[in-house]
Amino acid sequence: MAFIDWNDNFLIGIRECDIQHKKLVNMFNALHEAIRLNIEKKAIEEALYSLVKYFDEHFKLEEELMEKGGYPEVEEHKEEHKNFKEKLNNMLQSYQEKGNITLREMLKFFKNWWINHILIMDKKYGIFLKK
Ligand SMILES: [Fe+2]
Ligand SMILES: [Fe+2]
């Protein structure tokens, strides 16, 4: 069983976003596997930073689409992305500077937040933009 099993329930109906969500699932799984296999720390950290970077790109795309489509809850959605990024940055900092959080813990937090976010907030704008 993968760290995140893709499930069609994750589809929000906006093609570009669904493609990115699938790519994020694959990146999560690859990173989780790399941690499990205990490969070189540097390679794991690189995979982690590419995931974080791709999240940034993904959030940007969603925010642009919501703005263009006149989605009324765009500000709340943006706020949620922003809060998540802040929390994640704090965790990354704790990991790097204090070492008081493990990669696994960080990944678990990351995954739980994100799945919840897709199923609630992303689906909501998907329904609106599809109209
Ligand atoms: Fe998303
Ligand atoms: Fe989102």
Give residue 38 CA to ligand 2 midpoint distance, Å: 31
Cβ-Cβ contacts under 8 Å for 120 (sequence gap 6 or more): none
CATH number at residue 103: 1.20.120.50
Give residue 20 CA to ligand 2 midpoint distance, Å: 11
**Contacts from 74-77 at CB under 8 Å and sequence distance 24+?**
74/125, 77/121, 77/125
pLDDT in tens, 22-59: 999 999 999 999 999 999 999 999 999 999 999 999 99
pTM of this prediction?
0.93
- Show the domain range for 63: 14-130
Separation between Cα atoms, residue 126 and residue 124, nearest integer Å: 5
Give residue 111 CA to ligand 2 midpoint distance, Å: 13
- Is 71 inside a domain boundary? yes
- Is 2 inside a domain boundary? no
Q: Which ligand is closest in space to the CA of residue 83?
A: 2
- Is 6 inside a domain boundary? no
Give residue 7 CA to ligand 1 midpoint distance, Å: 14
| Structure tokens belonging to residue 113 | 């937040």
Give residue 98 CA to ligand 1 midpoint distance, Å: 30
Give residue 108 CA to ligand 1 midpoint distance, Å: 17
pLDDT in tens, 84-106: 999 999 998 998 898 889 999 99
Cβ-Cβ contacts under 8 Å for 110 (sequence gap 6 or more): 28, 88
